[in-house]
Structure 1
Amino acid sequence: MGPRPQPGTPPPPPRPRPAGTRWRSICAAVVLALPASLISAAPAGAEVSHPRQQWLRESTAGLFLHWGMLTAPRHLNCQEWERDVTAGGWSADYWVDEARKLGASYIVLATFHSRLGYARPWPSKIPGSCATERDLLGELVKAGKAKDVRIILYMTDDPQWHNELGTETLDSPAYSAYKGERVDLTTRAGFGMYSYDLFFEVMENYPDLAGFWIDNDNEYWERNRLYEQIREKRPSWLLSNNNEDTPIMDTVSNEQKTGMTPSYDYPQAAWTPMPRLVEADYKLPTTGSWWYDGGDHPVDFRLSTGRYVTNAGSSMKSLMAETPMVNGRFPPDQERFNAFMSQWVPPIRSSLQGTEGGGYMYGGMQPGFWNDGAHGVVTVERGAKTQYVHVVTRPRTDMVRLRDNGYKVTSVSDLRTGERMRFTQSGGHLTILGIRTWDAYDTVFKVQTAGQPYFYDQSALKASASSAREGHPAGDLVDGGFQTYWDGDRRLPVSVTLDLGKRRKATYLAVDQREWSPTYARESFGRPEDSARIKDYRVYVSAHGRSWGQPVRTGALRSARGVQFIDIGEQHARYIKLEVLTTWSGPQAPTFHRELKIDEIRVAYGHPNSLLPPLPLEAESLGNDRDGMARLHLCRSCSGAFEVTGLGGGTRNALTYRDVTVAEAGNHRLQIDHTSAAATSLSVSANGAPAVDVPIAGDNAEVPASTAISVPLRAGANTVTLFSKAGKGPGIDRIAVGPLPPESYVPRTTMTVEPAGMQWAGSGQQSIKVSATLRLDDDDMIDKVRMAPVPLQGWSVQGDAVTATTMRLGQTLEASWTLTSPPGQDVGSVDIPIKASFETLGRPSEVTRQLRVRPRPADRVFMREAEDSRNRLGSSGITNCSPCSGGQKVRNIGGGPDAYVEFEDVTVDTAGTYTLFIDYTVNGDRSFFVSVNGGTPVEAAVSGIGNSTPQTTSIPVTLRQGTNTIKLYNHQTSAPDLDRLSLAK
């Protein structure tokens, strides 16, 4: 290795780095995840797995501490802050002990933070920002080493908050004198040089530190090979990067993800596949800042424990942020949570530490949504012989039922109590029965297994595909490894064909999709994200691979993490073709749209079964009455391996359950698991009441599907009779009865309205064409669906409401209308609701989006928001901005040719020169480049402080009559954030 630069000396010439910093763009070059004993030191720049990471891989959690000179009460003088820290009794041991209560193996100390005064809690010889005389960092490292808690130091790349309070916190003259040259620390380049020197000072003085947690990148660091030099000087230290997957880093940290259902399931928003080390970085106080702002903000125990468990269930590390006060102590609510965790975690520690997430590359049963409202995750010991089922949201009944992923279960016990649990296996499910004791936050069952006996060996399979991206062939689907994957090359529909080698039995496919996208549409730091997973699909089988006939299964897969299953009944074929028709991501997230990636597809030919005890309310139970032609029928994918068929033609052919017992009278949720090859209907009568007719979707006569309705039942025993008025009714696998979901429950939907964003209307009567799409994202069916605008007084609507009798997972409802404002007057400020109403289990619900219309100022001939859906954003993204027009703006413009905002259909009545007004926010000095109709760009240079105050600049532009295109970009460096554009003559 060449000589290493020391603080105060010029850096060596830069060495070229691989093009691109995103993991997904160079993942073919990374080191595969192998046991640590088999990995030698890999080249810097490609270290997904390395022995130095082992301690973190075995960890569950870390403690993130934001603390510094601007911790409340804020200090604007470094010496006064240090005096109050010491006088208040600050203790390194206190922090280490509190971390251990949380089960944290490491502490990330964030004092050199842009919003905390760039404080350095160590004696520094490098002037430039606050530095203490007392070696607080050294004391913390020493205390952590004594109690096996590692310390990682936070470093920021961002100088923009240097004078947030009106007092300069960065001392450019002092650092310039130290360097012997003029350096402005308030610029990214100058701050990069200063912080670069600090990295080396810390590495030299604190060899027992565990690494650096780096809040994004600085161009100066990258240009001068900072990370490579850290690797050379401190090869055992870890590097973590926030919100970006930089290949040389050991860890990717995902900051404060929200918006998922349930709210605690943090991994739904993650976008980095295993075996990459991933942190979930979140606040424990549910309100307030990342640092102590003077308030004792509450800690939501339910949310925080749920995050802790679900992160472990996805092999993610919970980096929990607490807010120490000036004296280092935590506010009382945080201390109470830490004390609670010190008692709550130990009984289930074996299921959280030293385990991996189940349902992914390490094996294990399927996590996610289970029966009767239950939700949870699975953790596994290496080899997956021992698995832990974590029920984070308990079901509304006394049992838990989840897909077993082909594992033969030998025993189940409650991990906390040691109680042996009754269980049954059939139809691909494990059901744990008779659960009487539920933990308030996580009921954990220890499940012993004896392998997956009904899967074909991957080495016996071959795969081909209708398309594949170079470097990711179809063969990667069956190579037994999760580090390689097939990529569909942005083609939809696309198909993959599995060759079993000879004609064999097949019952289902286990599909492991690449976990590189969130499970739902969201915006993260101004960039649109969405799920790249399979939505609509068809499955065909063939004896020779030339003709395929009709599909044996058609349906939609849920957008969810972990292994997903496609049941196909009992098929006998050599070839199986999975045709993917659509994926969940929409075009608003171009990074994920049509980007299908699959790690592995496995083929099963049967299910593990247990003889006793049977699952309650099986159709074949001896206590049921079967009238007329109703009879037992073998169904290997059904629960208990049997169903009742022969329903049809009315009440003479019926199945009656005689002992459906509930504790309380009232309406209950009745779930019917049924099979049918074609669409039909089922009639349900409870206690002899008039029957309710239920539509049944047809797909495969050997694969159970579920339909749920609300039925009134009395306390105690009830009878439930099932029959069909159709010529041929469905087969009945089983029923399940439980309480209705809470009144607040609404199945998850996605509703979009276009145009989106504030609409600026000119003078006089106006007509606006609006379209809407409703998509069902949940397993529960919705009924009596209706979608239409709600016209305001004086407005007219051209176009009818669109309706659907029922909607199932992944189905959409679409319509367009023309809305016309009152005649003879200008448009006022109005919000027009677009409403979708529907029923779930007999309960009404609705989803509403607003079309926001405002009058355009009289001196403007055109005005449009940057976030308007008619614009093209490239890789830029929309983010909230409360002071901005319309409450949003577009950020992440510039830095490359793909990050821009393009306004199409900018219409003017006459050709000529116009004034283009650009509303923006910015921190520092930045520029837009503006191109009209593809012409020579004009630079619009602007300056500002804080990036949260909208400002306006203007330039002249020449437009042609009719429609024009205006594009704002900056190919070289970051541009300001854009609020809106307007034109004046």
Structure 2
Amino acid sequence: MRLRLCIAIVIALMASLISVPAGAEVQHPRQEWMRASTAGLFLHWGMFTAPKHLNCEEWERDVTGGGWTPDYWVDEARKLGASYIVLATFHSRLGYARPWPSKIPGSCATKRDLLGELVKAGKAKGVQIILYMTDDPQWHSEQGVQTLNSKAYSDYKGQQVDLTTRDGFGRYSYDLFFEVMENYADLSGFWIDNDNAYWEQNRLYEQIREKRPTWLLSNNNEDTPIMDTVSNEQKTGMIPSYDYPQAAFTPMPRLTEACYKLPNTGDWWYTGGTHEVDTRLNTGRYITNAGSSMKSLMAETPMLNGKMPPQQEAFNNLMASWVPPIKESLTGTEGGGYLYGGMQPGFWNDGAHGVITINPKTKKQYVHVVTRPRTDYVRLRDNGYRVNSVSDLRTGERMRFTQSGGYLTILGVKNWDTYDTVFKVDTSGQQFFHSGVKATASSSRDGFPASNLTDGSFEKYWDSNAQQPVSITLDLGRRKESTYLAINQRESSPTHARVSFGRPEDSTRIKDYKVYASNDNRRWDLVRSGAMASARGTQFIDIGEQNSRYLKLEVLNTWGGPQAPRFFKELQIDEIKVAHGYQRSWGTDLPLEAESWRNDRDGRAHTGWCEGCSGGAQVTGLGGGARNSVEYRDVSVAADGTYRLQVDHTSSAATSLSVSVNGAAPTDFAVAADRPDAPSSTAVVASLKAGKNTVKLYSKAARGPAVDRIAVSPLPAESYVPKTTLTVEPHGLQWVGPGQQSVKVTAKLRLDAEDQLDQVKLVPTAPAGWTIQGDPATAALMRIGQELTGSWTLTSPAGTDISTVTAPVTASFQVLGRAKQVSSSVPVRIRPADRVFVREAEDSVNKIGNAGLTGCGPCSGGEKVRNIGGSPDAFVLFENVTVDAARQYTLYVDFTVNGPRSYFVSVNGGAPVEVKTDGVGNNTPYTTTLPVTLNAGANTIKLFNDKDGAPDLDRISLGLG
């Protein structure tokens, strides 16, 4: 599979909206079989499958001689629970091999009808077959032989056609589409690796629709309107690593695939090596994709004879026994927490993580615990569902559970599955949500009004028109009770900052917010503020017990940063619901409730009502010292050790709380002002002994917080570091002149996880002999979404040129008593003597529009800018290119390219000059030059190509040529 992303057209495609592009069919009967499926098997196979063949006839001979059989592939797919196979042989890196007899010359074609045999075998066993087609001719001579025969195809067409060009290859492959459609009626569609302009100009897709209306069309990485499926290729970098949907950018009900390799390493095709398959990673992907209505398109690397390498076959065999016991939670289900309803997926208690699947017909929900908690219970938001029963789907065991404060807690879990513990949850549906709520907003994009927020349809949404801050006012019609907001944001972006195939992506979800209440829509009371996690699925804001007609949600900012222009300041919300109560079960209590009769309450400490608290109550009256306290007499653990002790508390004013374990000296911590009827949490470290322990809570302040509950669990793994984003500028290798130099460094640390950092310090380390001006940036504590920034000036020693140095910037902090740190560096190097200016393309002072950064080991700074060109939005603009004198200079452009491509270069906004380049391999730096005339002082140099893709850019420099 070609690892190249064409210009992303990341657009929401909903059939019921006036904004849907012409030709888009988001839902269609031909898609039904794939919507009902869980997975597909992606097979990359061709002439260059090891042992590599450079001759088509020899490849076919050895395939047949090796015993290839289509039934083996179909059976392996069924082991995986796959409903379809995508066959990738007409692939740019596999010799453009066609496994069917063809009358159209131009590349490898077999005499044996391997494709026809596979289609027939799949039909007999209920497995659909889809054919991969590439648009890309650039790898035609990668192996030292020409795999595209332009002369043969030109003779066939009666006109000269160069298959090594995109237009020529488009003509050739266009003919192949029609040959396949004519000869293989039982094929199920095409999986297309990006678009070709010739196809689009000649209405290829529309003709496929007309000729084969039941066939599916999938497109790699792009959201193309006429396609049925958006395939998301090989996404990594998420936390946890298996949660593939975190990297997806297309909201339901658009049909989406998660396309990924099962082998941990190596190419997408078999190269002769044996590569491990990470069972934990890939079972997790399988489940979390199902929990977001995404199809797991799993790529395996069949050998020449079609057999899977042993470790891949072993994974298939494991899946054949592991999936069937939980099949009902995966087949005919949709992702829960989205437009189909369901409880909240994501991070749960004590390190747990999982997803929800829901059967739209039976309304049964399935809680998939992919990462188990460090305790024996699972606690997640119930989204207003009244739970009747819970059972372990694998064992049938009925589970104890309790509901209160917006949470379902499944208790006493002993039988944890290694990869996915599944609980079947029967409910009576959602309750306690207001109807008839009307919404208005301070800003809306045309066609996406605020009324879409409360219309009951997740397929119509509100768009903020890129305004921040922005507010949404909810009118309940009259004064009513309200307890929380349930918000479904548009799943049109990944949930964390990342670079995908060289393009920057970021979350468009709400970060900092405030909620106000009013009875007259004029005078507003602030009722809650905070930061919302960048997470998929329904998110909740508990607002205590309000009695008002109007509620206003003010969104101060979103998680997306300016490094990803496509996502910056964007905000779209499908639905907002207003709740007026929480589900409450009776007979089973959540362990360690403060109000439990098992606890001692001394002095003024007493039980008070709190609907938003677990159990519906809390202990108040703390304050004035240890004489007013609540004491747990039986906090039991299995072994002596250090534990994580979480205290859920409420308070309307800033105060403090003290925790004493077994009569020892107390641990004191600050409690921020919030609400007296909506809990927040603080975790501390506690030393406990095996068996029973006492935990006493009180406040030394005159008026202390109330306590809802405590929870005890083992500490996270020693290696655990909360997710943070550390941004250091300048980014990229810094080139400086001779003599003493100063470099200004700024840094920003953001906490992205719902943890607490203590004793936070942000500071650079000066290279030997350098000095630092500026103090460390510090914070006593940080919560989710909060930022710490600092700025410093680093100065080299006087009287000497700098050597190659690196200035690391380190953020250090405490997490539950453990010292942790993250860091990033600023490398500095003296520019070559024959250059008067050098700057990396990836330098943070440049503007790159919708282009993006990517690693490049041979490049000068280890990075380059990729995806330049193809539109006016993808460019590299070098500002403040400073020279001493007005004159002509030689501009050196360092780049990588695979095949002929061009830059256009504009100096100070002047007429662009085309710079043609050529090369082999996108990992080999080349240099080209052109004369430029610059002004004394600051200049601008822009490299772009508005129409076609340009080379990747490493750096530019200026010489006195």
Fold shared by both chains (TM-score > 0.5):
yes
Are 1:522 and 2:491 matched, yes or no? no
The aligned counterpart of 1:138 is 116
Are 1:65 and 2:43 matched, yes or no? yes
Question: Are the counterparts in 2 of residues 44 and 231 from structure 1 also a CA contact under 8 Å?
Answer: no
Q: How many residues align?
A: 954
Question: Are the counterparts in 2 of residues 44 and 228 from structure 1 also a CA contact under 8 Å?
Answer: no
Are 1:794 and 2:769 matched, yes or no? yes
| 1:641-656 matched pairs, under 5 angstroms | 641-656=616-631
The aligned counterpart of 1:826 is 801
Are 1:369 and 2:347 matched, yes or no? yes
**Correspondent of 2:260 among 270, 282, 288:** 282
CA distance in 1, matches of 2:936, 2:146: 51
Question: Are the counterparts in 2 of residues 926 and 943 from structure 1 also a CA contact under 8 Å?
Answer: yes
Query: What are structure 1's unaligned runs of at least 5 residues?
Result: 1-19, 34-41
The aligned counterpart of 1:37 is none
Are 1:901 and 2:879 matched, yes or no? no
**Correspondent of 1:48 among 17, 20, 26:** 26
Are 1:877 and 2:852 matched, yes or no? yes
| Percent identity over paired residues | 70
CA distance in 2, matches of 1:579, 1:26: 24
SS of residue in 1 equivalent to 2:740: coil
Judge which range, 695-704 or 772-781, deviates more: 695-704
CA separation of 1:26 and 1:222: change in aligned 2, threshold 3 A? farther
**Shift of residue 45 of structure 1?**
1.7
The aligned counterpart of 1:467 is 443
CA distance in 1, matches of 2:496, 2:225: 25
**Correspondent of 1:202 among 160, 167, 180:** 180
**Shift of residue 947 of structure 1?**
2.1
CA distance in 2, matches of 1:720, 1:333: 50
| 1:78-93 matched pairs, under 5 angstroms | 78-93=56-71
The aligned counterpart of 2:840 is 865
| 1:491-530 matched pairs, under 5 angstroms | 491-530=467-506
Are 1:736 and 2:718 matched, yes or no? no
CA separation of 1:789 and 1:23: change in aligned 2, threshold 3 A? closer
SS of residue in 2 equivalent to 1:450: strand
Can you list the C-alpha shifts for 1:820-849, whole angstroms capped at 9, x where unaligned? Answer: 112211111111110000000000000010
CA separation of 1:802 and 1:749: change in aligned 2, threshold 3 A? same
SS of residue in 1 equivalent to 2:226: coil
CA distance in 2, matches of 1:676, 1:870: 45
Question: Are the counterparts in 1 of residues 209 and 215 from structure 2 also a CA contact under 8 Å?
Answer: yes
**Shift of residue 696 of structure 1?**
1.4
Question: Are the counterparts in 2 of residues 830 and 853 from structure 1 also a CA contact under 8 Å?
Answer: yes
| 1:397-412 matched pairs, under 5 angstroms | 397-412=375-390
**Correspondent of 1:541 among 506, 517, 527:** 517
SS of residue in 1 equivalent to 2:33: helix
Are 1:322 and 2:297 matched, yes or no? no
| 1:817-856 matched pairs, under 5 angstroms | 817-856=792-831
CA distance in 1, matches of 2:206, 2:360: 33
Are 1:590 and 2:560 matched, yes or no? no
CA distance in 1, matches of 2:45, 2:620: 67
Alignment-mate amino acid for residue 498 of structure 1:
L
**Correspondent of 2:599 among 605, 613, 624:** 624
Question: Are the counterparts in 2 of residues 23 and 247 from structure 1 also a CA contact under 8 Å?
Answer: no
Alignment-mate amino acid for residue 770 of structure 2:
W
Are 1:312 and 2:287 matched, yes or no? no
Alignment-mate amino acid for residue 760 of structure 1:
W
Are 1:702 and 2:677 matched, yes or no? yes
Are 1:427 and 2:405 matched, yes or no? yes
SS of residue in 2 equivalent to 1:765: coil
Are 1:150 and 2:124 matched, yes or no? no
SS of residue in 2 equivalent to 1:408: strand
Query: What are structure 2's unaligned runs of at least 5 residues?
Result: 1-5
CA distance in 2, matches of 1:798, 1:23: 45
The aligned counterpart of 2:3 is none
The aligned counterpart of 2:393 is 415
Alignment-mate amino acid for residue 485 of structure 1:
Y
CA separation of 1:383 and 1:777: change in aligned 2, threshold 3 A? farther
CA distance in 2, matches of 1:750, 1:631: 42
CA separation of 1:788 and 1:21: change in aligned 2, threshold 3 A? closer
**Shift of residue 547 of structure 1?**
1.1
TM-score relative to the length of structure 1: 0.96
Alignment-mate amino acid for residue 941 of structure 1:
K
**Shift of residue 396 of structure 1?**
0.5
Alignment-mate amino acid for residue 336 of structure 1:
A
Are 1:176 and 2:176 matched, yes or no? no
Can you list the C-alpha shifts for 1:539-591, whole angstroms capped at 9, x where unaligned? Answer: 00000111103x10000000000000000001000000000001001100010
Question: Are the counterparts in 1 of residues 21 and 225 from structure 2 also a CA contact under 8 Å?
Answer: no
The aligned counterpart of 1:609 is 584
SS of residue in 2 equivalent to 1:555: strand
Question: Are the counterparts in 2 of residues 904 and 964 from structure 1 also a CA contact under 8 Å?
Answer: yes
The aligned counterpart of 1:10 is none
SS of residue in 1 equivalent to 2:646: strand
CA distance in 1, matches of 2:600, 2:289: 47
Alignment-mate amino acid for residue 389 of structure 2:
S
Are 1:532 and 2:508 matched, yes or no? yes
Root-mean-square deviation over aligned CA pairs:
1.3
Question: Are the counterparts in 2 of residues 161 and 946 from structure 1 also a CA contact under 8 Å?
Answer: no
Question: Are the counterparts in 2 of residues 363 and 384 from structure 1 also a CA contact under 8 Å?
Answer: no
Are 1:888 and 2:888 matched, yes or no? no
The aligned counterpart of 1:711 is 686
TM-score relative to the length of structure 2: 0.98
**Shift of residue 792 of structure 1?**
2.0
The aligned counterpart of 1:982 is 957
Can you list the C-alpha shifts for 1:783-811, whole angstroms capped at 9, x where unaligned? Answer: 00001001221010000001000000000
CA distance in 1, matches of 2:613, 2:536: 24
CA distance in 1, matches of 2:896, 2:202: 31
CA distance in 2, matches of 1:407, 1:601: 16
The aligned counterpart of 1:9 is none
Question: Are the counterparts in 2 of residues 292 and 324 from structure 1 also a CA contact under 8 Å?
Answer: yes
CA distance in 1, matches of 2:617, 2:448: 41
Alignment-mate amino acid for residue 60 of structure 1:
T
CA distance in 2, matches of 1:453, 1:206: 51
**Shift of residue 607 of structure 1?**
0.6
CA separation of 1:344 and 1:26: change in aligned 2, threshold 3 A? closer
CA separation of 1:242 and 1:154: change in aligned 2, threshold 3 A? same
**Shift of residue 678 of structure 1?**
2.1
Question: Are the counterparts in 2 of residues 753 and 773 from structure 1 also a CA contact under 8 Å?
Answer: yes
The aligned counterpart of 1:247 is 225
CA separation of 1:94 and 1:44: change in aligned 2, threshold 3 A? farther
SS of residue in 2 equivalent to 1:310: helix
CA distance in 2, matches of 1:919, 1:576: 56
The aligned counterpart of 1:664 is 639
CA distance in 1, matches of 2:13, 2:122: 35
Question: Are the counterparts in 1 of residues 871 and 948 from structure 2 also a CA contact under 8 Å?
Answer: yes
SS of residue in 1 equivalent to 2:645: strand
Are 1:485 and 2:450 matched, yes or no? no
CA separation of 1:444 and 1:32: change in aligned 2, threshold 3 A? farther
The aligned counterpart of 2:740 is 765
**Shift of residue 31 of structure 1?**
4.7
Alignment-mate amino acid for residue 295 of structure 1:
G
CA distance in 1, matches of 2:566, 2:362: 34
The aligned counterpart of 2:907 is 932
**Correspondent of 2:337 among 335, 350, 359:** 359
Question: Are the counterparts in 2 of residues 687 and 719 from structure 1 also a CA contact under 8 Å?
Answer: yes
Are 1:568 and 2:546 matched, yes or no? no
**Shift of residue 294 of structure 1?**
0.5
Question: Are the counterparts in 2 of residues 639 and 733 from structure 1 also a CA contact under 8 Å?
Answer: yes
**Shift of residue 652 of structure 1?**
1.3
Alignment-mate amino acid for residue 248 of structure 2:
A
Can you list the C-alpha shifts for 1:440-482, whole angstroms capped at 9, x where unaligned? Answer: 000000000001110112xx01110000111111111011111
Are 1:237 and 2:212 matched, yes or no? no
CA distance in 1, matches of 2:466, 2:278: 42
CA distance in 2, matches of 1:464, 1:507: 20
SS of residue in 2 equivalent to 1:885: coil
CA distance in 2, matches of 1:328, 1:779: 47
Alignment-mate amino acid for residue 499 of structure 1:
D
The aligned counterpart of 2:699 is 724
